A and B are shown apart, each in its own frame.
Chain A
Amino acid sequence: MLTKPQVVENPALNLDENQRNSRLLGAVRRRFGEKVRIENLVSATLGGSNRTILFDLCEQEGSARRLVLRQETYAMSQSPFLAPHQQFRLLELLHSGGIPVPEPVFELDDADGLGRGYVVECVIGETLPKRLMNDSEFSSARSRFAMECGEILARLHAIDLAGASFLVNVPDSKDPVAAQTARYDSYSEAYPAIELGLRWLHIHRPQASKKHLLHGDFRNGNLIVDRRGIRAVLDWECAHLGDAMEDIGWLCTRSWRFGNPERPVGGIGTRDEFAAAYHSNGGVQIDWETVHWWGVFGLVRWAILNVMQAHGHIGGQRRAISFAACGRNICVIEYDLMMTLSGDYD
């Protein structure tokens, strides 16, 4: 039966800036003492699932700690995103396991009055793909980018799943194609190219493989990079358990090459660079045919995520001009999908 997305009430999203800042101050004082202050608040871009606010936590004169509040904004049923408490728990697991992630600081609770979310340490660096791809400042980081991606994913995929058992029931952990189809159906929109992609995935589906902990959105744009290389991996809200090839397929999906298609690893590196580092750090054997299947899956999934953003805008739940633009971006992803299915794009 079709399940329509239902709006989950989240009054914290409607707070004005002063109310929100006042509650944030209250939240940090409950945890760090009444003498702390917050300064230099900056609202970053509106992400796909979170509102990001950077601030300094000043514990005493001259001592400031830069932190990041991640406030959940996508509060709908059929959400493709992990609940914030799951994200926080995952960050704790990853941080203790040596994966480069922002250090988790505290999770919001009801008394904070800020809805669902958490606070992490701020990692300084650049995330904008075009700057990473073009600025001379990052030339050294670019030379190691694909290798560092391979190393990080190999370490992530080797994590013992016992600590991530709370992800077993995430829809994408059970059946990623069924999860995308259910979300797509919930929007009641007609996209024949998405249907064609889903049908191709169904017909050509590879055999089930051993499950690993996956980031689910590991790509250029979700990595904090400085001149030395990758400093942190962000945006774990799509993490789940699945085939390791899924993360590799998504990383190499054409949408994340940002106009530099001959460099499949984020528009920066090569598959060979990635594979050498992935294997030398203990990654499982890469099957490029299966990676291709996951690349097609990635395009279908990315198209459906754009349907979701446009749906949230049109329906009034999440009005934003960038989400309106997502609606007109769907056909561009569909074009990449069709050209990939025809073999014109790799």
Chain B
Amino acid sequence: MSRNWPAVDEIMTTVDEFLGAIVNRLDGRDRYDALCARYLLDVARRELSGGAEIDARELNMLEGFLEESGSLKELQTRLGQSIRAGAYDEKWQEVFDLVLTHVINNVMVSRPDKLESQHRSIAGSTKEIN
């Protein structure tokens, strides 16, 4: 038997099934925490399957907009600093569209069900926490 078996996705599914089995036997804070755990597993699964591609797309988009290079966090920091300094006040719609795309990319990983239909390019469902 391979030491790499079960695969990561299967491991996550197994843990999620376990949490799903116990969550209705819990109450109060334990129940809420178990629901948070299931939500985070969902996020992790989507991040593993599409996160790297989203990051690469986003890096390319930021480098083009800022005409600079750097890590994703560096470019996001520079963009934020420029927005705060008012550098894009006259190009508001342009920077707005860029930031909206960035946010949609993140929501696709965290809660794709929260996106309006025009912003959903990948199907996904998540478990609600309530």
Contacts and interface: CB of A to CB of B under 8 A. Distances in A.
A20 to B, nearest CB: 15
A335 B103 contact: yes
Given A190-B77, A321-B37, A342-B96, A195 B83 contact: yes
- Interface residues of B, dominant DSSP: helix
Contact of B73 (A43, A130, A190): A190
A45 B36 CA distance: 13
Contact of A335 (B33, B79, B95, B115): B115
Contacts of B29: 43-46
B129 interface: yes
Given A199-B83, A331-B110, A332-B111, A192 B36 contact: no
B80 A195 contact: yes
Query: Could you say which interface size class chain B belongs to?
Result: 35 or more
A328 B43 contact: yes
A328 B40 contact: yes
A325 B36 contact: yes
Interface string A313-346: 0000000111011001101101100110110100
Interface string A194-225: 11101100010000000000000000000000
B32 interface: yes
Contacts of B107: 331-332, 335
A64 interface: no
B80 A338 contact: no
A332 B40 contact: no
Contacts of B116: 339, 344
Query: Could you say which interface size class chain A belongs to?
Result: 35 or more
Interface string B24-39: 0000110011001101
Contacts of B89: 199, 203
B80 A328 contact: no
Q: Which of B29, B103, B109 counts the most A-chain CB atoms under 10 A from its CB?
A: B103
Contacts of B43: 328
B84 A198 contact: yes
A240 to B, nearest CB: 24
A324 B102 contact: no
Contacts of B110: 328-329, 331-332
A328 B114 CA distance: 13
Given A45-B28, A321-B37, A322-B33, 4 more contacts: A128-B130, A199-B89, A321-B40, A332-B114
- 5 smallest beta-carbon distances between A and B, as pairs: A331-B106, A190-B76, A195-B80, A190-B77, A195-B83
